[in-house]
Amino acid sequence: MLFNSFEFAVFMLALLALVPFFPRGKPRNALLLVASYVFYGTWNWGFLLLIWFTTLLDYYCGGAMVTADSLWKKRLFLWTSLSGNLGFLFYFKYGNFFLDNVAFVSGIDPSPFYLNVVIPLGISFYTFHTMTYTIDLYRGQVPRCKSLLDFSLYVAFFPQLLAGPILRSGHFLPQLSRTEPVRDDEIVTGVELFCLGLFKKVVIADNLAIVADRVFTDPTHFSGAAIVVATAAFWIQIYCDFSGYSTMARGIAMWFGFDIPKNFDYPMLRTNPVEYRRSWHMTMGQWFTDYVYKPLGGSRVGDVRLIRNIMITWTLTGLWHGASWHFVLWGFYNGVTLAVYTLVMKYKTWSLPEFRGKKFCGWLCQVALLLPSTALFRVGDMHAFTALLGRVFTWAPGRTVAPEWALAIAALTVVHWLFYLKYQEGVLARVRWPMRIGLVGSTAVAVACLAATGRPFIYFQF
């Protein structure tokens, strides 16, 4: 069920009505676990078996690592956990992609070998949750979770189950032992975050999807200017769609007394590639940093190895998004951008003079770098992307989009900048009830009047 659906409203009302009858601790954790399985089961009850298997695998492998009396046994249980998780991820998400590429190289018809499977929703996210636990446990960075109930809730906690943020066991599991009741300011701030995320999703993202879908469905018939506008629209769409989900997830978690990490920090206003990537999907970026980039040597190596580490990390990040070469190339493009920028900043002996509008010029350069990768992320295949680039660089004529879309994108950018300057989380908790009712009511009216409903969240496919 979608956060912006009637079914979810009924689900939440029923759950919130039951919560007071279950004391904090094991009883409430059990209630939330059952609710999380019901939430996920509405998509496909069969895939609950996969979540249960993953949960049991990592819980018992983690316990075995702690009690193992030798290093090789600890490594055996670690690799059993990693192999199980990555094996299922590969089978469901990358099996047919692998067959297609083997067939391309060998010339064998892959059709008889295709896997007739559906990618389980959220598999990339909850797989990373469980691997985080076993890796950190092996490293000695977190204690063993002795409760299967608590660990199961860590894996399946419904607000973030389908599209993150990616949780760390060291951050979430200690919160399960909290005994004090949920504070009023947590509930009110949760309402604020949910309303903000809902507005981002159904009013901004889903409306911008209209122009983005129209152009990207067949970009070869649109002008270069229309493609640029549609790419900018998709850039804002995917930001508001994904950050909207993450913001709603944080708000819902607060209603039950949980703090889950912030996933976006105004990335669209950043002025260089490093700042942008550090502030976009921060939990995923930190995951790849801690479990891929740093084990390869991180930045404390020579230039050649530094470039290698960046490229491997970002190519894998692209592959994480989907089993397609345009996602791999998207990751490669971002890796090249980050590697070049890092080396230039490391060795440059000059500095641009200070002038009015310097940061704005930096932002424009960053946008110019991002738009090609955004288009690459959106298109369905490489042929469409090369055709799209050709039309943009030659500024080809063709079908156009209404100029109001460009004005709307400019207006949204200004509003986003004003939010960055003025908005501080917790507004509803700092004002009195009449103002709270007015703000929530006006948001509800705006959603009811302006929402373009019915679209799933973009990151559900990953």
From the candidates 129, 221, 281, 321, which is the catalytic residue? 321
One-letter-per-residue 3-state SS of 226-261: HHHHHHHHHHHHHHHHHHHHHHHHHHHHHHCCCCCC
Q: How far is CA 205 from the centre of its chain?
A: 15
Residue type for position 342: T
326 as an active site residue: the answer is no
Tell me the per-residue pLDDT of 387-440, one tens digit each, with 9 for 90 and over: 888 889 999 999 999 999 999 999 999 999 999 998 888 888 888 888 989 999
Question: How far, in Å, CA of 133 to CA of 154, rounded?
Answer: 10
Q: Find out whether 121 and 45 touch, Cβ atoms under 8 Å.
A: no
The pLDDT of residue 307: 95
The CA-based dihedral angle spanning residues 242, 121, 261, 315, taken in that order and rounded to the nearest 10 degrees = -70
Tell me the per-residue pLDDT of 91-115, one tens digit each, with 9 for 90 and over: 888 888 888 888 777 777 777 777 7
Tell me the per-residue pLDDT of 31-55, one tens digit each, with 9 for 90 and over: 999 999 999 998 888 889 999 999 9
Taking residues 443-456, report their average pLDDT: 84
The pLDDT of residue 164: 77
Taking residues 154-181, report their average pLDDT: 90
Q: What is the mean pLDDT of the chain?
A: 90
**Quick one: 11 exposed, middle or buried, by C-beta within 10 A (0-12, 13-18, 19+)?**
middle
The pLDDT of residue 460: 75
Question: How far, in Å, CA of 334 to CA of 314, rounded?
Answer: 7
User: Reduced to 3 states, what is the DSSP secondary structure of residue 8?
Assistant: helix
Tell me the per-residue pLDDT of 58-79, one tens digit each, with 9 for 90 and over: 999 999 999 998 999 999 999 9
Question: How far, in Å, CA of 16 to CA of 255, rounded?
Answer: 9
Question: How far, in Å, CA of 436 to CA of 285, rounded?
Answer: 35
Share of residues in the chain with pLDDT > 90 (%): 66
Count of residues making up the chain? 462
Taking residues 145-167, report their average pLDDT: 92
Give the angle 160-232-228 at the CA atoms, nearest 5°. Answer: 150
Tell me the per-residue pLDDT of 327-384, one tens digit each, with 9 for 90 and over: 999 999 999 999 999 999 888 877 777 777 888 888 999 999 999 999 999 987 788 8
The pLDDT of residue 76: 95
The pLDDT of residue 103: 79
Query: Taking 90 as the threshold, does the pLDDT of residue 116 lie above it?
Result: no
Question: How far, in Å, CA of 32 to CA of 154, rounded?
Answer: 10
Would you say the pTM of this structure is higher than 0.85? yes
